[in-house]
Structure 1
Amino acid sequence: MRYAVMADLHGKRKALRRVLAAADEVGVDEVVCLGDYLEAKVPMRRHDPGRFWSLDEVVEPDPRLWAELADLRRILGNQEERIRDLLAPEQVPELLAPLLSGVSMTHVDCAVGMHGHQIGWDVDPGSGSFVPRVRDVPAVPLVLVGHTHRRAVFEIRRSGRSGAVRSVPVVSGVPVPVRPAGPDPVTVVVNVGPAIGRPSNWLFFDADRGEVVFEEA
C-alpha cells in the first residue's frame, strides 16, 4: 500500500488542496491526516474548562474545508481536542461534528500514526531540533507523527524505559528506509512536517518497500 501522510494543516484549505493534488499526481491508495487539521482560535492559556465560547470565537467557520476533510482518514490532534472542549455539543454544526470525534491513534499499514502531542519533546542542544522522549513513544517498529512542525526521522534503541535516540538525515525527494537491519529491536519515529505554509510538507509512505519520502507541494 502507498499512503500520503500529512499533519498540521491548521485550517488552511489551499494547503490541503495542494497536498491532495500532489498525492494524486504521485498515485497513492489512501490519504491520512495526523491531526491539527483545524485551528483553535482560543489559545491554551485562555482555555477555561468551565466556559463555552461562541463558534466563531473558537474556530473559523469553513464548511467547504470541513466537507473536504470528511473524506480523509483522520486522527485527532490537540487543536481538535481544544475546539471540542470549548464548544457545547449543541453549538457544533453537523459538518463539523465528525471532525471533532474519533481516535487519537491509528494503524497505517505496519505503522502507528498519532499526532505527537502525546509525546514529550526535548530540545537537542547541539542541533536545536526536537527529540522525542523514549518513554512516551510506543514500543512498535514504526511511528508516524506531526505536531512539532519539523521534518525528522529518529531511530530509538531501547533499554528498559530509556534508550538512545539517533537522528537520521532527511532530504526532500530522497527515500529513507524505515525497516532498520540488525537483530536489536528499533523504533523509527518519522515526523512528517507541517502541511501549513508554502511549500506544504507531506510524506509518501510506501509500506511494501518499507520507505518514506519527504515531499513538498
Structure 2
Amino acid sequence: MTASVSCIIPAWNEASRIGAVLHATIGHSGLSEVIVVDDASSDTSADVAEAAGARVFRQRRNGGKSAAIARGLAEATGSHILFLDADLVGLTAAHVSSLLAPVLSGRADVTISLRENAPWPWRIFGLDYISGERVMARALLHQHLDRIAALRRFGLEVFLNDLWIEQGLRLEVVPLSIRSPLKTEKHGMLKGISGDLGMIGDIFRTVGPHRTLAQIAAMRAMARSALKNQGSLRVPERV
C-alpha cells in the first residue's frame, strides 16, 4: 500500500509565523493533506491557515498542544503523520522531505528533528527528545487518542517517546537548519520563563524526571542501532 502523510500543525496565536510553515508544506508532493488545529487563538492564525489552503479545525477553548494534536489525529486520513510546530523559523520543503524520507523509504520507523537552536546538551547528545518535528505511522497513535487528549499541555512528546521505546522502533534523528523561537522571545522574559517552567512541570508530571533520562538513553540507543543496521555509523548531514 502506498503511504500517505497527513501533516498536523497545532497553533495558538501564531498568525505572524505560521504562514512560513504553511509555505513549506502546502502543496508538498510528500504530503496528502495539511491540518491546522487552531487552539482558540485570539489572533488570525486560523484565517491565515485557511487562506493558505490548509484544513483548519478551530478548538472552542484553549486546551493545549496535546488536545490540539488529538483533534488533528481524529481528523487525519493519511497512513502516516508528520507533526510540525507552527512557529518554526527557516523551514523549507527540503526540510520536510528530509524528515519524511527515512520513514517513507522504509529505512526507519520514525524520525525526529534536531534543530540548530536546540539546547546545547541535546546537540552534544545528538538528540532532542522533546522535539516537535516527528514522523510516524498513524496506526501507532490512533488507539491512544483519548489518552493523548487528556495529557498535560506539554506532555505529548515524552508520551510519544515511551510509545516508540515500548515498540522498539527504528529511529532516525534528522538534523535540520531550522529554529524554534524561545518562549522569552515570543512572550517576554517573565511570561517566557513561566512558560518554560510550566513545560518542564508538564513533562515531569507525565513521565517523571528519572524516566526522562531513561528515555534519552533508550532513544540514543535506538538511533545508533538503526544506523548500525544500515551498515554505517555516519551521522546524517544537516540540511
Bin of the TM-score, shorter chain as denominator length: 0.3 to 0.5
Q: TM-score, normalised by structure 2?
A: 0.30
- Where is the helix percentage greater, Structure 1 or Structure 2? 2
Bigger Rg, which one: 1
Q: TM-score, normalised by structure 1?
A: 0.33
